Amino acid sequence: MSASLEPIARAADAPRSPDGALRRYLAANRAAVGTFAVFVVMIGIFMIASPRVFLNWPIYNSVLVTLPVALCLVVPLVFVVTVGEIDLSFPATMGFSAWIFALVVHAGYDPFLAILAALLTGMALGVGVGALVVIANLSSLIATLGMNFMLRGFIMIVTQGKSIALLELQDTTAGSLLSGEWGGVPVQIFWALGFVAFAALLFNRHRFGARVHAVGDNPDSAGQMGINVARVRIATYVFMGLGAALAGVFSTMVNYTWWPTTGDGYLLPAIASVFVGGTPTWGGTGTIVGGAIGALIVSFIQSGVVAAGLSGFYVQFFNGLIIILSLLGHRWNQKRYR
Amino acid sequence: MPERLIELRDIAKSYGRVFAVGGVNFHVDRGEVVGLIGDNGAGKSTLIKMLAGAIQPTSGQILVRGKAEPNWNAARSRDAGIETVFQDRALCVQQTIVRNIFMGRELTTWLGLLDPARERREAERLMREIGFTSKVFSPDSIVGQLSGGERQGVALARAIYNKADLIVMDEPTTALSLTETEKVFRFVRTVRAGGRSVLFIGHNIHHVFDIAERFVVMDRGRVALQATKAEVGTAERLIAFMEKLAHPDGIASFDSSHVDAGAAA
């Protein structure tokens, strides 16, 4: 019997995966969707554990006051991590920019001019940090750690640890625009959500975001395709500086006082939020919306644990638990392609 | 005479005191397929990386259409109409097919915002054009999910998108299956038929002989031979030349070294 050289006819072509827009959206946003699931479960547990607190508005209101500051830090940090670097200097950048803001306001200038000065300061510091990492070719982990200490030290040396009260801001347009309430909701959250939306657009639908992904994924390939790798990397630090400056202005506006320690407490929570949100550590992919939800989760843990009737001693433990569980979830949910 | 598309004049690249490429003169005309061959370490990849602007030559001149290009880099090279399919394919494996095809030259609307619908459409057209179609993958598939041949397809699609005048292919058939290799050959013929040029770098001399009409043989950073297909005649003569390059004195050198070693012992 002679063997046929004809290929065996295929019974049916491989089934084509449905190409629906919703499915595509979910596939492209796996990490963010997973993070949102974690958030829903967590709030569910809190509601069951202490319904009296979590079925009423005040707890959410208090989170909405602190959340904007975190969002302004977490969102640009997703860019830095996606490009394959890290930034530990943003707390000092935040304090420094807010300091410039406080000084300009205190000198009697228009608050909006002060905000502009703060934003420019943050971006200039971003250029400096970025140049250290990209041009001087230092490890971003160590170089930015050094910058954080150095900038904070500089603030302390010059101010001798003294804070600046800005009560004159209370009844200004800037004050009501940036720290009042609209319909019972803290106004900062609207600005912060606008910033998140802008960043998400930049990240997912803009040339810059596409290049951040490419450089973080494979800098050699990106360079060979004509992308200016150094410029893209520095630009992520500049964006981080902008976000840190915004965070600094918002946190100063909360109680109209600039502290020389402004920003210090945000280092670890902001970094944790990025990774809880589903941005992996290796670069090339990330999620802005996931990072924002990560910030929400981290902000809720503290108030949630205390409101649930546990002592403050439990906060750190639950912080850690949520971080580890989230990372395990993302590990299972996301595959790393090489 | 056809237009001289690109010319390298006395191009050299050294790393410290080691020459990777030492004073090479080389050109590609419009509409020709040039085969660049040579042993490992002959300087082929260094040469095409300089052509692609990925590394800077230590000395020498690069001319595009007769005009000297003093500030040569990867972006300039692509703007000048040179697309390179690198040996490692230069893909970002965590990104989608679309993002890889338009890497470095994204299709945008205004203010740099991407135009995803147009990018998807163009990607689909390109993949169809080069025959790397699949029922399982869409332009939104992650490149890391693709096979070697399919990844090569993405790299080729990227190279033809901008109607480049010269497509440089560094060992495009290495590690590909027979049918995939045939697809690459068909691709080269299509490009050639469109009046564009191809610089084809290969290890397999039979492959290169089949596809190219002019050959440049490199040896230890220098050009050892430039000849047309008619001048070379057969693939066997080319292989014989390569073997003579590798062992200049043939068996004799082996014998003498053997004798020397014996005498020293």
Which helix or strand (DSSP H or E) is residue B223 part of? Answer: strand B222-228
Q: What is the pLDDT of residue A1?
A: 44
Considering only CA atoms, give the Rg of chain A: 23
Comparing CA positions, the residue from B84, B61, B81 lying closest to residue B172 is: B84
Q: What is the pLDDT of residue A133?
A: 94
**More reliable by pLDDT, A302 or A293:** A293
State yes or no: pLDDT of A195 exceeds 50. Answer: yes
pLDDT digits (tens, 9 = 90+) for A207-223: 999 999 999 999 999 99
Mean pLDDT for chain A overall: 87
Q: What is the pLDDT of residue B241?
A: 85
State yes or no: pLDDT of A16 exceeds 80. Answer: no
On chain B, the residues whose CB falls within 8 A of the CB of A83 are: none
Q: What is the pLDDT of residue B87?
A: 85
Q: What is the pLDDT of residue B135?
A: 64
Backbone torsions φ then ψ of B15, nearest 5 degrees: -110, 105
DSSP-based three-state secondary structure for B90: coil
Q: What is the pLDDT of residue B71?
A: 86
**Nearest C-alpha in B relative to A28:** B140
Task: Answer positive or negative: Cα dihedral of A181, A185, A191, A192.
Answer: positive
State yes or no: pLDDT of A11 exceeds 50. Answer: no
Q: What is the pTM of this model?
A: 0.87
Give the helix ranges, DSSP H, for chain B: 44-51, 74-79, 97-101, 116-129, 148-161, 178-193, 205-211, 229-232, 235-246, 251-264
On chain A, the residues whose CB falls within 8 A of the CB of B75 are: 226-228
pLDDT digits (tens, 9 = 90+) for B98-112: 999 999 888 889 889
* Cβ within 8 Å, pair B104-A206: no
Residue B45 in tokens:
């990849």
Nearest to B113 among A28, A206, A337 (CB): A206
Interface check for A10 against chain B (CB to CB < 8 A): the answer is no
Mean pLDDT for chain B overall: 83
Q: Residues with Cβ < 8 Å from A167, sequence gap 6 or more? A: A256
Task: Identify the bridge partners of residue B84 per DSSP, sorted by sequence position.
Answer: B168
Long-range contacts of A51-55 (CB under 8 A, 24+ apart): A53/A307, A53/A308, A54/A304, A54/A307
Q: Which residues of B touch A (CB under 8 A)?
A: 52-54, 73-75, 77-79, 84, 86, 88, 90-95, 99, 102-106, 108, 111-114, 116, 135-136, 138, 140, 142-145, 158
CA–CA–CA angle A192, A195, A201 (5° rounding): 145
Q: Are B166 and B81 in contact (CB under 8 A)?
A: yes
pLDDT digits (tens, 9 = 90+) for B226-257: 888 878 788 888 888 888 887 776 544 444 44
On chain B, the residues whose CB falls within 8 A of the CB of A285 are: 94
Using a pLDDT cut of 70, give the percent of chain A over it: 94
Which range is most confident: A74-88, A257-271, B27-41, B46-60?
A74-88
Q: What is the pLDDT of residue B190?
A: 85
Q: What is the mean pLDDT of residues A154-178?
A: 85
DSSP-based three-state secondary structure for B134: coil
Residue A318 in tokens:
């639950």
Long-range contacts of A116-122 (CB under 8 A, 24+ apart): A118/A245, A118/A248, A118/A249, A119/A242, A119/A245, A119/A246, A121/A96, A121/A97, A121/A245, A122/A93, A122/A94, A122/A96, A122/A97, A122/A241, A122/A242, A122/A243, A122/A244, A122/A245, A122/A246, A122/A248
CA dist B24 and B12 (Å) reads: 7
pLDDT digits (tens, 9 = 90+) for B186-218: 888 888 888 889 998 988 888 888 888 898 888
Comparing CA positions, the residue from B123, B121, B134, B120 lying closest to residue B156 is: B123
Tell me, rounded to whole angstroms, the distance of Cα A223 from its chain centroid: 27
CA dist B204 and B181 (Å) reads: 12
State yes or no: pLDDT of A27 exceeds 90. Answer: no
Residue B32 in tokens:
């020709």
On chain B, the residues whose CB falls within 8 A of the CB of A214 are: 92, 95, 99, 103-104
Q: Hey, what domains does chain A have and what are their CATH numbers? A: 31-329 (1.10.3470)
